[in-house]
Structure 1
Amino acid sequence: MTATILDDGRRRLVADRVLLTLWVAGAAAVLLLPFASMAPNRLVSGQPVMLWAALLPWQAWTAAGLAALLLLSALATPLPRALAHGLTLAAAWGLALLVLYGIGTYAGRAVTPDMPAARVSLGSAFWVVLFCAALAMLDAFQRLKAGMLPQVLYAVATVGAVAGLFALDLFDDLSILREYANREDAFAGEFLTHLALVGAALGPALLLGLPLGLLARRRAKLRGGLFGLLNFFQTIPSIALFALLVAPLSALGDAVPVLKAVGIKGIGAAPAVIALVMYSLLPIVRNTYAGFAGVPAAAVEAARGMGMTTRQVLWRVEVPLALPVILSGLRIVTVQAIGLTVVAALIGAGGLGTFIFQGLGQYAIDLVLLGAIPTIFLAVTADFFLQILVALSKPEGAR
C-alpha cells in the first residue's frame, strides 16, 4: 500500500491523529511520571518508581512491542485501515491488561515479609497509560462502526480478564486493596447505600419528569416557566443545594415528629434524595419534551386516521418513537446522580463519598481512590447498559 494522497498531492503519513495523540500522551507519561509509589508505611510519603523499574524485563519488552503496534496502527501505511483499527483494539486491550498485571506483580515483589507495613500506590503514569488505552479502544470501535454485539462481547472479555486477575489475588499487596481489606464490611454497606440513594432519586425524578415533559409538549404556555424553574435548580452548586435543604427539613422534622421518625430531617438521606431529584428533573423533562416533539406529525395523523383514540396514539405511536430520546435523558441523569451522590456524604447520607472525604481529611490518596474508583465504575457500567437500551429502543431502520 502507499501513503494516503491529500488533495494537494502531498502524502499523509498519519491516518489516525487521535490514536497518535494518545500514544504521545502515554509515552510522555511513561518517561516523565512515576508508574508507582513505594512507601515503608501508610504515614510516610512514597518514593516514585518509574515504569521500567517496576516491570519485569519481559513485561517491559512486551509493553514496548504493544506500543509499537499502536504507533504502526496510527500511520497511513502499511496496514489497511480496518486491519489497523482491529490491531488497535487488540494491542490496546493487551497493553491495559499488561499494565494491570505489571503493577500487581511489582506490589507482590515490593511488599516483603520483613516490610509488612510497606505500601505500593498507583502512580500517575499508570492512570495515564490505562486511560489512553481505554480511549484508543473506544476510538477504534467508533472508526470501525461496529455493531452493539461486538462491543458487548469485547466489554465482557475485558471485564472477565480483569476479574481473572483479581481472582489470582494479584492486587492484594496494593495500598488501595489494603484500605479495602481494613474496611471491607463498611465498604459493602456504603456501596449499597450509594445505590439506594441513586435509586431513590431516579424513581421520583422519572415519576415527575416524564409527565412534566409531556405537559411541556402539550401546553406551550407552560413550557417557558417550567424550563426556567428547572434551569434555576441546575445553576445552584451541589454543595450549596444540600446545605440549603438542611435548615427547612430540620425545622419540618422538629415540627412534625412523625416525619422525623421516618427519616425526614436536616441531615441524612432525605435532603440528599430531594437535591438529587431536583438536579435530575431538567434532563428528564427536556429529553421527554424533545422525544415527543421529534415524533413525525405524519405518523400521528396516520394513527388518528386509522381510528385510534388519543390514548392509543400516545402509547402505540408517540411513546415508542420518543423512547430512544427519553432513555438518553435517563442515561444522562443516572450518570449524573451517581457522581452527585458522592457529595451527599457531606451531610451524613453515606455512600462511597464517605471514603473520599475521609481520605481527603487523612491525606490518604488510596482511601480517596477506594471511594472514587467504584463510583467511576458504577457510572461507566450504567452508561454502557443504558446505551444498549437506547440502541435497542430505536426503530429497526434507525439503528
Structure 2
Amino acid sequence: MFASLAMAFLHVAPNRLLSGHPASPHIALLAAAWIVTVAAGFWRGGALFALLLTLGLPFLAGHDAARLLLHAPPTTRIQLGAGFWTMWLAAALLLLDRLRHLRLAWRAAAWLLIAVACVAGAMAGAFSDLGLVREWQAQRGAFTDALATHVMLSLVTLGIALAAGAPLGYLAWRKRRAGGAVLGVLAFLQTVPSLALFALLIGPFAWLARAWPALGALGFGGTGAAPAVFALVLYALLPVVRYTVAGLDAVPADAREAARGLGMTRGQVLLGIQLPLGWPVLLAGLRIVAVQTIGLAAVAALIGAGGMGRFVFLGIGQGATDMVLLGTLAIIVLALAADLLFQGLMAFTGRRA
C-alpha cells in the first residue's frame, strides 16, 4: 500500500544512462487493488488475488510504458521504479505464503502459469517498450552467451564439489578428529571475501600456466574459468561436507548394526543403507550449494570468467540501471529455477522412499 501511494511505479528517462522523473499513472487503481487483496486474505480468495497481482503488475507496467512513449523522443527509456519492484515482491511473497499449504505440483503450476503468461506477453510485444526489455534486445547475443557460461560454471562447480566433498564428508564422519580439522579449514575459507579469493588465485594460476604450457593450452591462466571454478568449489565444499556428515548421522545406528549383522560389508552398508536413508539431507545440502554457486558466479566476471556478472559490473561502470537489472534478474531466475528443481527432486525421491 505504501509503495502504491508513495513510490514511483515507473521512471521516464531521456536515455539509458540518465535518471528520469517518476511516473505513477494508476495510483488509485493500485491502492484499490491492494485493499481488495487484503480483504480477500481473510478467505480463500487471497491466493487468487495474489496471483492476479503478481501476473498483472508487469502487464500494467508494459501498458503504461507504451502510453508514455507515444510522443517521446526515440532515445527515451521507461525504467521500472521502486514502487513496481516493491509491489511485485510483496505480491510474490504473498502468493508464496498462500500456496505454501498446497502440494508442490499446485505451487509449481501457479508459477508456471505466471512464467507462461509472461513469455506469451513478451512474444506479443506487451513489454517491448520497457527499458529493461530494450536493453535485452540490444544485448541479446551477448546475453545468451553469458547465460550459457553462467550455467556451465555452476554445473561444473556443483559436479566437482560433489565429487570431492562427498568423500571428504565420509572421511569427516568416519574420523571425527580429522573431520573437525577438515571442517575448520573449510569454514575458514568461507570467511575470505569472494572478491579477495578470486584476486588471490590470479597469481598461482598464472604461474601454473607458465610452468606447464600444456595447462595454458587447455585454458588455465591467471584469469578465466579455471580460477573461477576453483574458487567456487572452495566455497561449495563446506556445505557439501557438512550435509554429508549430517546425512550419515541421520541414519540410526541400529540400522547399520543390523546390516553388519546380516554380513554386509562396509561398502554395502554405505551404498545400500546409509546413502539411501541420508539422501534427503545430502540433497538439501546440494540445493543450498546450487543456489549459493549461482549467486557467487557473478563475481567471477571480474577475472574474465564471463557469466551474468558481466552485465552487472558493466552496468555499474556505465551507470546503466537496466543493464544491471538484466544481469541481476537473470541470476535470480536461475537461482529460483535451481531451487525449484531440487525441491522437485526431494519430493520425488521422498515418495520413492
SS in 2 for 1:230: helix
Alignment of 1:230-309 (within 5 A): 230-309=186-265
SS in 2 for 1:394: helix
Code of the aligned partner of 2:219: G
Distance 1:230 1:338 in 2: 19
- 1:355 paired with 2:329, answer no
User: What is the Cα deviation at residue 279 of structure 1?
Assistant: 0.2
Could you list the runs of 5+ residues in structure 2 that have no partner in the other structure? none
2:138 maps to 182
1:105 maps to 63
- 1:382 paired with 2:329, answer no
- 1:39 paired with 2:13, answer yes
1:50 maps to 24
User: What is the Cα deviation at residue 226 of structure 1?
Assistant: 0.5
Distance 1:91 1:66 in 2: 9
Asked if the contact 1:356/1:368 (under 8 Å) is kept, the reply is yes
Match of 2:93 among 119, 135, 140: 135
Code of the aligned partner of 1:119: R
Provide closer, same or farther for how the CA distance between residues 380 and 356 of structure 1 changes in structure 2, counting only shifts above 3 A. same
Highest CA radius of gyration, 1 or 2? 1
Distance 1:299 1:396 in 2: 19
Distance 1:221 1:97 in 2: 53
Quote the RMSD (CA, aligned, Å): 1.7
User: What is the Cα deviation at residue 31 of structure 1?
Assistant: 1.2
Deviation string 1:280-314 (CA, Å, 9 cap, x unpaired) is 00000000000001101122223233333322221
Code of the aligned partner of 1:302: A
Asked if the contact 1:66/1:92 (under 8 Å) is kept, the reply is no
Code of the aligned partner of 2:46: T
Match of 2:36 among 44, 48, 69: 69
2:106 maps to 150
Code of the aligned partner of 1:207: A
Match of 2:160 among 204, 209, 223: 204
User: What is the Cα deviation at residue 147 of structure 1?
Assistant: 1.9
Distance 1:190 1:249 in 2: 23
**Number of residue pairs matched?**
353
Match of 2:82 among 124, 131, 141: 124
Asked if the contact 2:5/2:31 (under 8 Å) is kept, the reply is no
Distance 2:51 2:273 in 1: 42
Asked if the contact 2:17/2:319 (under 8 Å) is kept, the reply is no
Asked if the contact 1:29/1:125 (under 8 Å) is kept, the reply is yes
Over 3 Å off, 4+ runs: 63-66
User: What is the Cα deviation at residue 64 of structure 1?
Assistant: 4.7
Asked if the contact 1:69/1:87 (under 8 Å) is kept, the reply is no
2:285 maps to 329
Distance 2:318 2:192 in 1: 29
Distance 1:394 1:45 in 2: 50
Match of 1:344 among 278, 297, 300: 300
Identical counterparts, % of pairs? 43
Deviation string 1:99-151 (CA, Å, 9 cap, x unpaired) is 11110011111223762211000000100001001111111223xx2222222
User: What is the Cα deviation at residue 349 of structure 1?
Assistant: 0.7
SS in 1 for 2:313: helix
User: What is the Cα deviation at residue 339 of structure 1?
Assistant: 0.5
User: What is the Cα deviation at residue 70 of structure 1?
Assistant: 2.2
Distance 1:220 1:342 in 2: 35
Deviation string 1:24-49 (CA, Å, 9 cap, x unpaired) is xxx11111110000023224321101
SS in 2 for 1:276: helix
Distance 2:102 2:157 in 1: 34
Deviation string 1:232-284 (CA, Å, 9 cap, x unpaired) is 11010000000000011111111111111111110111110000000000000
Could you list the runs of 5+ residues in structure 1 that have no partner in the other structure? 1-26, 54-59, 76-83
Code of the aligned partner of 2:158: L
> More deviation in 157-166 or 387-396?
387-396
Match of 1:392 among 342, 348, 351: 348
SS in 1 for 2:22: strand
Distance 1:197 1:223 in 2: 28
Distance 2:160 2:17 in 1: 44
Distance 2:253 2:276 in 1: 14
Asked if the contact 1:267/1:349 (under 8 Å) is kept, the reply is yes
Code of the aligned partner of 1:28: F
- 1:368 paired with 2:318, answer no
Code of the aligned partner of 1:362: Q
Provide closer, same or farther for how the CA distance between residues 361 and 87 of structure 1 changes in structure 2, counting only shifts above 3 A. same
User: What is the Cα deviation at residue 392 of structure 1?
Assistant: 2.3
> More deviation in 37-46 or 287-296?
37-46
1:4 maps to none
2:49 maps to 91
Asked if the contact 2:25/2:64 (under 8 Å) is kept, the reply is no
Code of the aligned partner of 2:191: T
